[in-house]
Amino acid sequence: MTKKIVLAYSGGLDTSVAVRWLIEEYKAEVIAVAVDVGQNPNWHHSDWEALRERSLKAGAAQAIVVDAKEEFARDFIMPALAANALYEGQYPLVSALSRPLIAKYLVEEAGKTGADAIAHGSTAKGNDQVRFELSVRALNPRLEVLAPARTWGMTRAESIEYANRFDIPIFQTATSDNATPYSIDENLWGRAIECGILEDPWQEPPEDIFSLTGLSSDLKESSVITVGFEQGIPVSLQERPVLSKKQVNPLTSNDEPIGLVDLITKLTTVIGMFGWGRIDMVENRRVGIKSREVYECPAALALIMAHKDLESLVLERDLLHFKESLEQRWAELVYDGMWYSPLKEALDQFFISTQRWVTGRVKLRLSEGRCVVIGRDSPSGMYDMHLATYGKDDTFRHQDAEGFVRLWGLGLTTWATAHPPDTNPSGGRL
């Protein structure tokens, strides 16, 4: 029986070559699946239909495009927002979030068509292979996983030559492609750019690698955006350009709910115009490599900042601090390909339970290269003006403080009495 392979197809050089390579190598029938998670199909100079046709021209027996944007926003981005997820404190997990969803569709398609294997175009040095393979194993451990780009040992130039030999439509030429050899991955949550000149961590990223962020020529001097949240989910956006004093182009009013995909897309545009939302970092990959990565994620960074800020108003101190320690763990698990692991799923339940009262709004001020929180407000906030104020409406019981502080420090006082502090204030270290 002919082997059937479901391939994660992006429309790029590697996965186009992979279609043919799998056919040649395994005499297999290849089913190409492209998942729309909000990337711009124009990357590959085409729309989704043209992308589908390209995989067929490369030899695929079937080509399927799935619009998974809503699902991606609801079931993948929202849990990441509840977890304020930033890998190594900086990276909002753009690619790490999309792989488990793409894998889910590959496995589903394999089930429908009775395929024995799935294939992906990731290389040996990256994290994406880990995420695809672990997700597939978690969802159907009986499926074989193939990674042609890890096996074929072709250089970029050889892949182009291979494509030309089999008449596979691609947009690279040996020379033009080598001139800008960036590896780019994009979805609703942002854009990752690696390789090329960026491989030297000392080199400043060239301006032309960015497409979501950059100072726009018709920029307002400054703008205030209000993001409304309900139980941790962003549900509304309102924009007020500040210097013009009049309401111009409100994105939407607070009582007019906006879907998640539109909200994230609009925030990306509006904040990106102010040139904010870039990340330049040296990142620790799961495979042990340090890698210089550049990202642009204006909406992700702004939403995480706003959401975290609202939580600071609403959540009780112990819960907030404990949650923070779990957030880091969650980001590592997802980065490492453990989306479908029992620990990650259990942590999701914890985060969901923390979001019940995370309702309110956060004001962000945008100006050239900047986005900062300038106000927050919640009907369920724990902020009590009477307790916080230094003015006349103060209800805090000042007399309680003396005994509280004495007991809080009793152990320390006892220790210091038994062991008089070192007379050298540096503790002898200097």
Provide the binding-site residues for ligand ARG, judged by CB under 6 A. Answer: 95-96, 127-128, 183-185, 192, 194, 283, 293
End-to-end CA distance of the chain: 75
- Asked if 273 and 215 touch (Cβ cutoff 8 Å), the reply is yes
Give the integer Cα–Cα distance in Å for 305 and 371.
10
Q: CB 72 → ligand ARG: shortest distance, Å?
A: 15
Q: CB 130 → ligand ARG: shortest distance, Å?
A: 9
Cβ partners under 8 Å of residue 43, min gap 6: 11, 12, 184, 186
Check if 14 is active-site: yes
Q: Which residue, 29 or 186, is less far from ligand ARG as judged by CB?
A: 186
Helix (H) or strand (E) holding 192: strand 190-194
Q: Which residue, 292 or 307, is less far from ligand ARG as judged by CB?
A: 292
Give the integer Cα–Cα distance in Å for 344 and 336.
11
Give the integer Cα–Cα distance in Å for 187 and 291.
21
Q: Which of 14, 185, 309, 336 is catalytic?
A: 14
Laid out side by side, the sheet with 222-230 consists of 233-241, 222-230, 360-367, 370-377
Check if 36 is active-site: no
Q: Which residue, 109 or 185, is less far from ligand ARG as judged by CB?
A: 185
Check if 183 is active-site: yes
Nearest Cα neighbor of 222 from 371, 369, 367 is 367
Q: CB 182 → ligand ARG: shortest distance, Å?
A: 8
Check if 116 is active-site: no
Q: Which residue, 63 or 279, is less far from ligand ARG as judged by CB?
A: 279
Q: Which of 54, 98, 128, 131 is catalytic?
A: 128
Q: Which of 75, 177, 183, 240 is catalytic?
A: 183
Laid out side by side, the sheet with 62-67 consists of 62-67, 29-36, 4-8, 117-119, 144-146
Q: Which of 20, 54, 99, 292 is catalytic?
A: 99
Q: CB 104 → ligand ARG: shortest distance, Å?
A: 18
Q: Which residue, 96 or 160, is less far from ligand ARG as judged by CB?
A: 96
Q: CB 53 → ligand ARG: shortest distance, Å?
A: 23
Residues serving a catalytic function are 14, 99, 128, 183
